[in-house]
Amino acid sequence: MADRVITIPYKPRPTQREIHEVVKHHRFSVIVAHRRLGKTVCMINHLLREALTDASKEGRYGYIAPY
């Protein structure tokens, strides 16, 4: 079976890039930020990337938010 290439059409803003860098080193994260920063978009894309590139195939990923 040929390797698949999955493209996530997401370009993080500078603040979101910083969040990605910090979050990837921790198991649990809490982000407190102003409205309209793009927290949901940022974290959903982060989870997608981590889940799709998980070499162990045993990872468990979840997103918990008020809504």
Task: Please state the pTM of the whole predicted model.
Answer: 0.80
**Tens-digit pLDDT profile for residues 3-54:** 788 899 999 999 999 999 999 999 888 889 999 999 989 999 999 999 888 8
pLDDT at 11: 95
For residue 67, pLDDT over 70 is answered with no
pLDDT at 46: 93
Cα 46 from Cα 50, distance rounded (Å):
6
Computed on alpha carbons and rounded to an integer, the radius of gyration of the chain in Å comes to 13
Long-range contacts of 7-15 (CB under 8 A, 24+ apart): 8/45, 8/48, 8/49, 10/41, 10/45, 12/42, 12/45, 13/38
* Alpha carbon 6 to chain centroid, angstroms: 15
For residue 66, pLDDT over 90 is answered with no
